[in-house]
Amino acid sequence: MDSKKPSQADQHILVTGGAGYIGSRLVGSLLEKGKFVTVLDRLDFGGESILGYFTHPRFCVIKGDVLDPKNTQHAVQEAISRGAPALNSVVHLAATVGFPACQNLGPDKSWQQNFEAVKIVYAEAQGLGAERFIFSSTYSNYGLSPNGKEVTEKTPLNPQSLYAETKIAAEEYLARNNNSTCAPLIFRFATIFGTSPRMRFDLIINQFVLEAFAKEELIIYQKDYSRSYVHIQDVVKGILMGLDAPQDLICGEIYNLGAEEGNRTKEDIVSLICSELPKTRVEYVERSFSGDMRDIRVSYSKIRKALGFRAQRSVKDGVQDLILLLRSGLISDPFSDRYRNANLSLQ
């Protein structure tokens, strides 16, 4: 490990999109580790997800759009004025996430949010002295598995959606502008599932569990299509490892973040849900449509060998957690738009 690396208490992390689905869980974990956390977020879905941290002595939140570079500077400077040390790292989660959300927003704004914003925040990160820049990308970039084989970080990219196109462009920009003084690290997340303070029910597993629980039925298209899934707790774990790993293991690197156990067909997911909710009626429908048509299996050997990452939460764990959440009544209207990034949701 780098002997010059600051102690946990001296580390200051900026999380863009920190009130979101991933960010709101990440912030809590960072604070538990003793790090100072600054959040910059437009708060499109409100700030209740991080309200519990508001009075924490090592927490600062600024409402603002990352497209305005002055907001990044203001957020960091405000945190420092409250006692935070100099900025160490940026975790860039702010984005328009998923092909339905990008489709609803349109190409121009999607490119602004998912590409132009990356250029702005990365430049600001360098100017503010950050040593690491973690970028949240997606395995959607691969599109389809060639010949059914598991894709690796070296597999040619074959985007099937506007969302993936914007993420690939951002990855390529970071690769071209790789600055060892502010090391970029790219994680290509699998499809995430599980509970979060900023809950989402427009992600496949979360959506399926909600439909099965509330309606006792599922209508499934393309049951044999494979995707890769990862629990949100393991995504947070991977980001924390990226923040703490030696610089030479992360500078300019791309890692798929997930687990081979998460490579599942839709039919596999439905079977797991039905084992927990046996009253669920399932109808399989043959239907084709345009969009993010991934049929893919992903290799996670690189992140396991280089960073020692191993997922701890299974798909079954996540399904059980989601059912407990719904049974608890903590979310009174889970079909509300506030729990979705976009109204379009495909099964």
3-state secondary structure 324-342: HHHHHCCCCCCCCHHHCCC
Write down the pLDDT at residue 347: 43
Q: Is the pLDDT of residue 196 over 90?
A: yes
Residues 214, 181, single domain; the answer is no
Residues 242, 117, single domain; the answer is yes
Q: Are 163 and 312 in contact (CB under 8 A)?
A: no
Q: How confident is the model at residue 90 (pLDDT cuts 50, 70, 90)?
A: very high
Tell me if 133 is assigned to some domain.
yes
Percent of the chain whose predicted confidence (pLDDT) is above 90: 82
Residues 147, 167, single domain; the answer is yes
CATH code: domain of residue 268: 3.90.25.10
Residues 93, 188, single domain; the answer is yes
Beta strand 263-265 with 183-189 is unpaired
Residues 45, 73, single domain; the answer is yes
Write down the pLDDT at residue 342: 75
Q: Which of 31, 93, 101 is nearest to 66 (CA)?
A: 93
Count, residues in the chain: 347
Tell me if 216 is assigned to some domain.
yes
Residues 67, 164, single domain; the answer is yes
Residues 189, 45, single domain; the answer is yes
Q: How are strands ordered across the β-sheet holding 253-257? A: 59-63, 36-41, 12-16, 89-92, 132-138, 183-189, 253-257
Tell me if 33 is assigned to some domain.
yes
Tell me if 306 is assigned to some domain.
no
Tell me if 304 is assigned to some domain.
no
Q: Are 141 and 188 in contact (CB under 8 A)?
A: yes
CATH code: domain of residue 95: 3.40.50.720
3 state DSSP class of 133:
strand
Task: Give residue 287's domain range.
Answer: 204-228+262-297+313-339
Residue with more model confidence, 10 or 194: 194
Q: CA 171 to CA 174: how far, in whole Å?
A: 5
Write down the pLDDT at residue 164: 93
Residues 282, 323, single domain; the answer is yes
| Domain count of the fold of the chain | 2
Residue found under tokens 């704004």: 109
